[in-house]
C-alpha cells in the first residue's frame, strides 16, 4: 500500500501543496516510490476566484479556460504518483487516520463513499460565500456558471441592486456592476447623476474597506459615486425577505428582496447580493479541532493541526493561520512544505537537521481593490498605491493571466 499524502481541496492552497509535495518533498524522502499524492475536491476545476466580481457579468471579460482550470490536467506531468478524487470530504477520523469522501455522482449514479487512509493530511477546503456568484462553494464549474447565467438574465430588468458588505468583495462587485450598467461620470463630475440602475452598498463598519486607511476608503467611495453606487455606512442587514433572497438556487438568487437594516430603514432590491461573511468548508472536521470562527485551529507558525495527531496540517481559508488571502497562501506554502518534509523524514526513521521553519504573517496594509475597469484603490507593504498601479497590477484582469504558473506548478519549480 502506498503512503498517501492526502490533500483536501483543489484551489490555491491545495494545488500548490500538491505540486510542492510532488516536485520537492517526495523526491527527497527515502523510498519516494512508496508515496502518492491524492487530491480531493467536489469541483474538477479550480477557479480564479478574485476575478468573480467581474466574471459574473459576462463571459467576454475572461478567457474561460484561464478562469476555470482543469485540475487533473495540471498534474498529468507526475504520472502514477498523483490521483484526483472527484468528491467531498464528509468526515475526518483522526484516531483511525481516515477521511470519508463522498464521490460526486453523475446523473443516475448511486451514492458512493470512499474511506481514504492518510499518512499525512492537508486540509485546504477553503471557504464558501453567502452569494453563490462569488465562488464554487461546494459544487462545480457548471453550477457556478448556471448561477451567473440566471443573474445575467435578471440584470436588464433590475432598477435597484443592493450589495451587503463593505469589504473588498462587496466594493469590487459594486464597482463592476456600476460601470457595466451605468457607465462612468465625466471627468468633471464627482457623481453620476440619475444612474440607470440604483446601486447601494450597505457597510456594517463606519468605513468601507476595513483593512485600508480612511483616506483610501474615502477615495474608493468617490470612485463608486462616479459609477452610480451609494454607500450606507455603519448599518448592518438585520433580515431579508425572502430569507434566501440572493443566496439560494434558481429563483431565490434573483428574487426581488426586501432588505431590513439595523437603522430601521428597508431597501427594496430587484437584486440582492450578500457579499459578507464567508463560511469555512470545515463541517467534516471534528468540532474540537475548529476555532471559534469555524476555521481549523492551526499552529500559525508551523501550520500543524496539533490536536489532530501526527502529520496533519491546514492551510488557506479553511485554516485560522492568517487572514484569508491568496498572496499569504503563496508565502506560506514553502514553510508548510518544509515542515511536512521534516515530519515525513521523522516518520521514516530519520532525524532532520535544524529546526521547524516558521511563518509570520505580514500584517502591513496590503490590499488592491479595483473599482470598475479603469480605477482602483489600494496599498502595498504599508504604502498607498495610485489608482493607475492598482489597475495595472490587478484591475486589468484580476490576476487571471498571472495565475497559470501557479495552477500548472511552474511557480513552484524551485524549492525555496
Ligand X SMILES: Cc1cc2nc3c(=O)[nH]c(=O)nc-3n(C[C@H](O)[C@H](O)[C@H](O)COP(=O)(O)OP(=O)(O)OC[C@H]3O[C@@H](n4cnc5c(N)ncnc54)[C@H](O)[C@@H]3O)c2cc1C
Q: Where on the chain is the footprint of ligand X (CB under 6 A)?
A: 8-14, 40-43, 49-50, 52-53, 88-89, 124-127, 129, 134-136, 138, 168-169, 281, 284, 316-318, 324-327, 329
Task: Check the CA dihedral 195-200-201-203 and report its sign.
Answer: positive
Q: Which residue number, 54 or 342, has a Cβ lying nearer to ligand X? A: 54
Please report the DSSP string for 58-82 in residue order: -GGGS-HHHHEEEHHHHTGGGGGGE
Residue 327 CB, nearest distance to ligand X (Å)? 5
Rounded to an integer, what is the distance from CA 297 to the centroid of its chain? 19
Q: Which of 55, 97, 39, 82 is nearest to 398 (CA)?
A: 55
Residue 371 CB, nearest distance to ligand X (Å)? 13
Q: Which residue number, 98 or 348, has a Cβ lying nearer to ligand X? A: 98
CA dist 29 and 34 (Å) reads 10
Residue 264 CB, nearest distance to ligand X (Å)? 29
Q: Which residue number, 130 or 228, has a Cβ lying nearer to ligand X? A: 130
Residue 288 CB, nearest distance to ligand X (Å)? 18
Return the exposure string of 319-354: e unless at least 16 CB atoms fall within 10 Å of the residue's CB, then b.
bbbbebbbebbeebbbbbbbbbbbbbbeeeeeeeee
Residue 263 CB, nearest distance to ligand X (Å)? 26
Q: Which residue number, 168 or 195, has a Cβ lying nearer to ligand X? A: 168
Q: Which residue number, 103 or 150, has a Cβ lying nearer to ligand X? A: 103
Residue 220 CB, nearest distance to ligand X (Å)? 14
Q: Which residue number, 9 or 175, has a Cβ lying nearer to ligand X? A: 9
The residues facing 49 across adjacent strands are none
Task: Check the CA dihedral 210-213-216-221 and report its sign.
Answer: positive
Amino acid at each position: 500500500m502506498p503512503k498517501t499524502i492526502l490533500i483536501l481541496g483543489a484551489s490555491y492552497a491545495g494545488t500548490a501543496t500538491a505540486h510542492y509535495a510532488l516536485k520537492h518533498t517526495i523526491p527527497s524522502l527515502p523510498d519516494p516510490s512508496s508515496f502518492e499524492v491524492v487530491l480531493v475536491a467536489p469541483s474538477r476545476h479550480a477557479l480564479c476566484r478574485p476575478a468573480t466580481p467581474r466574471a459574473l457579468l459576462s463571459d467576454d471579460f475572461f478567457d474561460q479556460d484561464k478562469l476555470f482550470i482543469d485540475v487533473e490536467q495540471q498534474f498529468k506531468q507526475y504520472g502514477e504518483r498523483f490521483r484526483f478524487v472527484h468528491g467531498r470530504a464528509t468526515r475526518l477520523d483522526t484516531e483511525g487516520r481516515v477521511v470519508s469522501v463522498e464521490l460526486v455522482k453523475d446523473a443516475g449514479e448511486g451514492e458512493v463513499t470512499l474511506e481514504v487512509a492518510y499518512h499525512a493530511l492537508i486540509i485546504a477546503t477553503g471557504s464558501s460565500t453567502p452569494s453563490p456568484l462569488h465562488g464554487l462553494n461546494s459544487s462545480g464549474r457548471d453550477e457556478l456558471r448556471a448561477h451567473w447565467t440566471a443573474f445575467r438574465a435578471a440584470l436588464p430588468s433590475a432598477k435597484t441592486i443592493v450589495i451587503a458588505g463593505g469589504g473588498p468583495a462587496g466594493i469590487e462587485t459594486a464597482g463592476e456592476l456600476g460601470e457595466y450598467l451605468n457607465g462612468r461620470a465625466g471627468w468633471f463630475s464627482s457623481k453620476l447623476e440619475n444612474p440607470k440602475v440604483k446601486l447601494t452598498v450597505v457597510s456594517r463598519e463606519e468605513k468601507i474597506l476595513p483593512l485600508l486607511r480612511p483616506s483610501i476608503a474615502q477615495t474608493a467611495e468617490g470612485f463608486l459615486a462616479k459609477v452610480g453606487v451609494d454607500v450606507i455606512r455603519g448599518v448592518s442587514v438585520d433580515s431579508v425577505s425572502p430569507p434566501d433572497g440572493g443566496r439560494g438556487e434558481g429563483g431565490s438568487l434573483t428574487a426581488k428582496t426586501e432588505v431590513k437594516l439595523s437603522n430601521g430603514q428597508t431597501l427594496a432590491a430587484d437584486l440582492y447580493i450578500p457579499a459578507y461573511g464567508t463560511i469555512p468548508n470545515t463541517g467534516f472536521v471534528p468540532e474540537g479541532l475548529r476555532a471559534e470562527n469555524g476555521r481549523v485551529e492551526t499552529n500559525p507558525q508551523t501550520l500543524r493541526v496539533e490536536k489532530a495527531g501526527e502529520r496533519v496540517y491546514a492551510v488557506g481559508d479553511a485554516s485560522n493561520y492568517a487572514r484569508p488571502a491568496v498572496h499569504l497562501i503563496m508565502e506560506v506554502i514553502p514553510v508548510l512544505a518544509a515542515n511536512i518534509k521534516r515530519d515525513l523524514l521523522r516518520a521514516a526513521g530519520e532525524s532532520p537537521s535544524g529546526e521547524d521553519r516558521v511563518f509570520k504573517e505580514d500584517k502591513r496594509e496590503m490590499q488592491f481593490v479595483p473599482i470598475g475597469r479603469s480605477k482602483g484603490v489600494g496599498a502595498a507593504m504599508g504604502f498607498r498605491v495610485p489608482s493607475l498601479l492598482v489597475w495595472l497590477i490587478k484591475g486589468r484582469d484580476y490576476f487571471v493571466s498571472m495565475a497559470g504558473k501557479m495552477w500548472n506548478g511552474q511557480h513552484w519549480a524551485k524549492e525555496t
